[in-house]
Amino acid sequence: MIPIPPAGPTWLPRLDWVSLQFFLSEQDLARSRAEASQERVAKLNEAVQVCVHTGDITEDLLLDFQVVVLTASNLEEQLKVGTLCRKHGVCFLVADTRGLVGQLFCDFGKDFTVEDLTEEEPLTAAIQHISQGSPGILTLRKEADARYFCDGDLVTFSGIEGMTELNGCDPRPIHVQEDGTLEIGDTTSFSCYLRGGAVTEVKRPTTVSHDPLDTALLQPRVVAQSPQEGRRARCLHQAFRALHKFQHLSGRPPQPWDPADAEKVVDLARALEPLRGTEGELLDEALVRTVALSSAGVLSPMAAMLGAVAAQEVLKAISRKFMPLNQWLYFDALDCLPEDGEFLPNPKDCAPRGCRYDGQIAVFGAGFQEKLSHQRYLLVGAGAVGCELLKGFALVGLGAGANGGLTVADMDHVERSNLSRQFLFRPQDIGKPKAEVAAEAARRLNSDLRVTPLTHPLDPTREHIYGDDFFSCVHGVAAAVDSFQARHYVAARCTHYLKPLLEAGTQGTRGSASVFVPHVTEGYSGPASAAEDAPHPVCTMRYFPSTAAHTLQWARDEFERLFRLSAETINCSQQALTSLADRDRPQLLQVVVGLLRHRPRNWQDCVVWALGHWQLRFRYGIMQLLRHYPPDKVLKDGTLFWSHPKQCPQPLEFDASQDTHLLYVLAAANLYAQMHGLPGSRDQPALRNMLELLPLTDPQHLDSIFSSDLASTELGPEQVERLNEALQDWSEGSPLEPLRFEKDDDSNFHVDFVTAAASLRAQNYGIPPANRIQSKRIVGQIIPAIATTTAAVVGLVGLELFKVVGGQPPRPRPRPRSAFRHSYLHLAQNSFSRFVPPAPAIQKFHHLTWTCWNRLKVPAGQPERTLESLLAHLQEQYGLRVKMLLLDPALLYSAGWSPEERARCLPLRVTELVRQVTQRQVPKPGQQVLVLELSCEGEDEDTTFPPLHYEL
């Protein structure tokens, strides 16, 4: 609900609020904020009811809510509403920002139960053995790690054969022994353990107790990562109390950068009742003064950061998931202000202009806003973080001036799953290019914004688009990409062109925001790739899986083989079987034909096929594998074949009463029907009845139909004849419809099939299966993204943007490294860390020193210099005797060349030499430099010389 207090001018939108509240526009200035926002908020999610309340906030009104959040409220109202919420067990929050400082307060009551403290799934590990005894000793499979279990953890069990008394038992406490085994209590009277099963953590609830606001004002519990942060937070607490007092006495907030008003706030802070438990702590008057001077403004990055954390606290209150704040959070970005008084704003420069940016002008001045409007920035990526960044840029007016502009680059198209976490997209945008949709939406937020969408990826294949001419017109880059490989490439471009880089990323409730400034901070250095991106060996996935990820990848490949590749093979192979004996084609045809001898005509035919394929994959295929590798097979060195990491599988018995068995047949049959253009069915009871009447196929019959993928892929005469007959029938109908895996449509059976297939495969091998949500995330390659974390990191990026822009001319030098911050946050654990980026590492060679931001510049000259001249220049200018000169992998010079080769190449112009060696046109249109790599005499193994920029 959005309440509207009694009518008054303060609740009518001001023009400067348009840059803070993205649901408002210039056309809403005569309406109340709540009424103007209601319709647009409701459109974000039609399932959420959004109402407007036009009366006072009364006790009876509050009874209808679980959570109440006050924003932009005075202290008297906070105390009144907080008392009523406390009385009726309603969770209560206060969120406020004043310039570059923000405040958040939470009161969830005296006894608030948190059901789940972390965002991690409960720990699950596969069992190797359980002993009978007191205590019983549980041994985990070798790939499991007992270090993740802790003494006293509660666990339960599932899927155990033999000692079935443990399956689904009440939670048992464990003791982790030094060798990694787990004591699980008395198992003396239980049956003997046979095989399989998983041990799963049972999360414990915990209770937290909060103080009411009137108590917490005088004895605040603040979120702080260190004692120093705690002292600063308590000082900011007093500053907010003094600001409330000033407004109560004066009827207005302090004027922007007014020294007299600021001194009054400092005097009020001195006169406040001391905080309890902080005896001996002195008030930092300089900090309070700075807060007061800049408090008149309101900044969208600050609102994004504080609003995001407040929204996450609301979710905690409703879901009882994650530990709530305890109880005050103070966040300040006063490091955005110039560190030397010469460049601090003055009251005249910060006076209101009657424009949408007055909130920013009140903090930084009109000159800064003008500089911001003339910036030209490249935004790479229009996903969750990218859309939020573009929204933030539109609100602050980045590139909205006559000489400014934004370019947003993204090659992807809008998908349904994007709608829940990318604010600029709507259902009607599905299938359209992200860059174009996002650019148009940003223009609606700020009609002055100059934004250009590009649908080309920023990668090495598009350097003719994003080349020297393009980057020469760019002031900075913001990266919102979802892979380390892409991050590295964007960062390398920024290093090459000496452009500042703003970078952000999220994963669930974790987020980071970083800034990299040429010659000031270190360059970007992240891992080359995520560990989970590494491919699984094919043999492991097919025959020897040991983790749920293996089974999911196998199931995903099954989907491709069964419902896309096989259909494509049938469509292009209707003439003869002679061309089908190549590689995988026979097996693809076998699986699409299955037990049927004719093209399916109806739903029952599709069910027969699906049931037969269940038998093939989860019973017959496993029996076939065990014939080749019996459970007691011994290798030449005397070790068992089925030993770590291989887990001996067991064939399953089909049982229509088991949900996973039924779901597999339901999903497979529907997908098979879709592929053949037939109607499917969602009627599970009817399917169960049908399956009870269908006979199960004899394994010997399957032997005659399917060739073993463990043996030769050549078809026997009987199999060839059968496939020929079936293909004749298939060729008479319309072409099959290859299915493309789509994770975002929960009604299409795609994720259902993969989840069920992976779960059955896991049962074969005694592996704890992944649930549907985990399966969808892994096979859909979904990075967990939620709107709260995204908004928070984008707010943090926006603050660093202010510093980068503030350090540009007419300021004589960039802001110092001490002004910038890398930020990491974990909203689930109330962890907020900001620190000064490291300085760029310095390398030395003889008299030369350099960092990643330096390069050796050599002009080509007119007429262009020769290779011999280039080598001589490097020796004379830099004292470098070049051993090797490279352009990418192409060798342009080697000191080990024969005299003949030296005589041929040294007189050549450098560009002519490059053309001869690379067989490419040089220079390319618009290319201004050739970037060469050097190796020199006397260098150490770890010496990396700066790149040589040969200026054309």
Query: Which residues form the catalytic set?
Result: 539
Sign of CA dihedral 187, 191, 195, 198: negative
Q: Are 156 and 123 spatial neighbours (Cβ–Cβ below 8 Å)?
A: no
**Measured CA distances, 430 to 679, 749, 793 (Å):** 26, 20, 26
Give residue 204's Cα distance to chain centre.
28
State both tokens at 355: 């424009």
Alpha carbon separation from 192 to 132, 159, 160, 729, 781 (Å, rounded): 7, 14, 11, 54, 41
Question: Which residues lie across from 328 on neighbouring strands?
Answer: 105, 222
- Residue 846: how many other CB atoms lie within 10 Å: 11
Residue 932, classed as helix, strand or coil, is: strand
How many residues are recorded in the chain?
952
Angle subtended at Cα 741 by Cα 738 and Cα 745, rounded to the nearest 5 degrees: 115
CA distance 684 to 666: 8
Helix (H) or strand (E) holding 3: strand 2-3
What is the layout of strands, in order, in the sheet containing 154-158?
172-173, 154-158, 198-202, 124-130, 137-140, 182-183, 175-176
Q: How far is CA 417 from the centre of its chain?
A: 14
Strands across the sheet with 882-887, in order?
A: 856-859, 948-951, 929-936, 882-887, 890-894
Return the exposure string of 682-714: e unless at least 16 CB atoms fall within 10 Å of the residue's CB, then b.
eeeeebeebbeeeeebeeeebeebbbeeeeeee
CB count, 10 Å around CB of 157? 21
Residue 541, burial from CB neighbour count under 10 angstroms (0-12, 13-18, 19+): buried
Token code pair at residue 289: 């003064």
CA distance 700 to 702: 5
Number of C-beta neighbours around residue 812 at 10 A: 7
Cα distance between residue 154 and residue 149, in whole Å: 9
User: What token pair was written down for 807?
Assistant: 């350090």
Distance CA 480, CA 499 (A): 16
Gap between the Cα atoms of 705 and 718, Å rounded: 8
| CA atoms of 516 and 490, how far apart (whole Å) | 12
197 with 127: CB under 8 angstroms?
yes
Cα–Cα distance list, 299 to 52, 289, 296, 713 (Å): 25, 19, 10, 67
Q: What are the φ and ψ backbone dihedral angles of 461, each rounded to 5 degrees?
A: -80, -10
C-beta of residue 64 within 8 angstroms of C-beta of residue 57? no
Q: Kindly state the tokens that stand for 50.
A: 């959004």
Query: If DSSP codes are grouped into helix, strand and coil, which group holds residue 594?
Result: coil
Q: What are phi and psi of 210, to 5 degrees?
A: -110, 150
Which residues are within 8 A (CB) of 527 and not within 5 positions of it... i.e. 6 or more apart?
A: 484
Distance CA 167, CA 284 (A): 60
H or E stretch covering 405: strand 405-409
